[in-house]
Amino acid sequence: MKKLSVLITVVLAVFLIAGCAHYTTGSYGSSSGAGKSSASRNNEQSSKTSSSTADQKTQAGSGTASVNQGSFEQTQQEIRAALKTAANVKLPQLVPVSGGYDISAQAQGTSSGYTVTYKQTARPVKVNDPSLSQAETLVTLKAVTYSNDAEAGGQITFHQYGASDGQPVDLGHRITGYEAAGAGTAGVSWNEGRWTLMALSPTSDQEKGISLAKNIVAYLDTYLLPVPHQYGLIQVYTDNRKSQVMWQDGRTVYQLTDVTDPMSLVQIAVSVK
């Protein structure tokens, strides 16, 4: 099976901001610099609980409690019905919707996984209604199951950041990032456990990337990302380039894309279960 095309983007982005850094494929272990910060973060996060929809300040679905067409609850039920032949279906439990709008989705299962694209609609619309092709996309979740764990793991490259990757930046909460720039793009990269994170921006807006990185670190000090087996990646941009979240869970690789606001993308990733 072909690897996800996004692997090329990840490798290019890492080389762009990490310079001569090399990649590791072994299991995660603590080391100097960001490694120590990540290890401390793991110990702290082990006592936390995952976020729930009630904890979020952004509404899920239309914000109504009733299970009606156009509500988040009804949409989730219809998605699971559409994917009834797919195994181990995981979905976001939080999808931000503008006030006064409803939510629906396009859900498609395949022999190797499934794709769900959540849509914002001006009126209640059933899942997989043809009119959804014209509706605004809120987020796309793609799950691909490979023949074995090793093949799935090959879709995501993990890098342990350190002093050779750039100028150290204090991101708060005992997390150290490493700042570098080149070819018109500036970035701050860091690790949280087995996750590789990158906040990227045009060099003219370098401070926006640092600010975004600090906001993500602060959010993840309270809310937990899915536990990857083996690795996960967050690559977000402050401009209109495509942000993404990817992580492996055994033979399956999950990918979140098509979210305009990078912080919303991280919040959605936290809610997936």
pLDDT tens digits, residue range 54-82? 343 333 444 444 479 999 999 999 999 99
User: Per the structure block, which two tokens stand in for 267?
Assistant: 């919040």
- The alpha carbon of 91 is separated from its chain's Cα centroid by a whole number of angstroms, namely 12
Give me the pLDDT at residue 108, please: 97
Give residue-wise pLDDT tens across range 210-240. Answer: 999 999 999 999 999 999 999 999 999 999 9
Dist CA 233 CA 244 (whole Å): 8
Dist CA 198 CA 212 (whole Å): 10
Dist CA 266 CA 273 (whole Å): 14
* pLDDT, averaged across the chain: 82
Cβ atoms of 255 and 245 within 8 Å: the answer is: yes
Dist CA 126 CA 8 (whole Å): 36
Give residue-wise pLDDT tens across range 133-191. Answer: 999 999 999 999 999 999 999 999 899 999 999 999 999 999 999 999 999 999 999 99
Give me the pLDDT at residue 20, please: 34
Dist CA 189 CA 178 (whole Å): 5
Res. 202: pLDDT tops 70? yes
The single residue listed with the structure tokens 């990490």 is 18
Q: How many residues does the chain have?
A: 273
Res. 5: pLDDT tops 90? no
Dist CA 124 CA 102 (whole Å): 6
Q: Where are the domains of the chain?
A: 6-51+150-271, 56-138
Give me the pLDDT at residue 78, please: 98
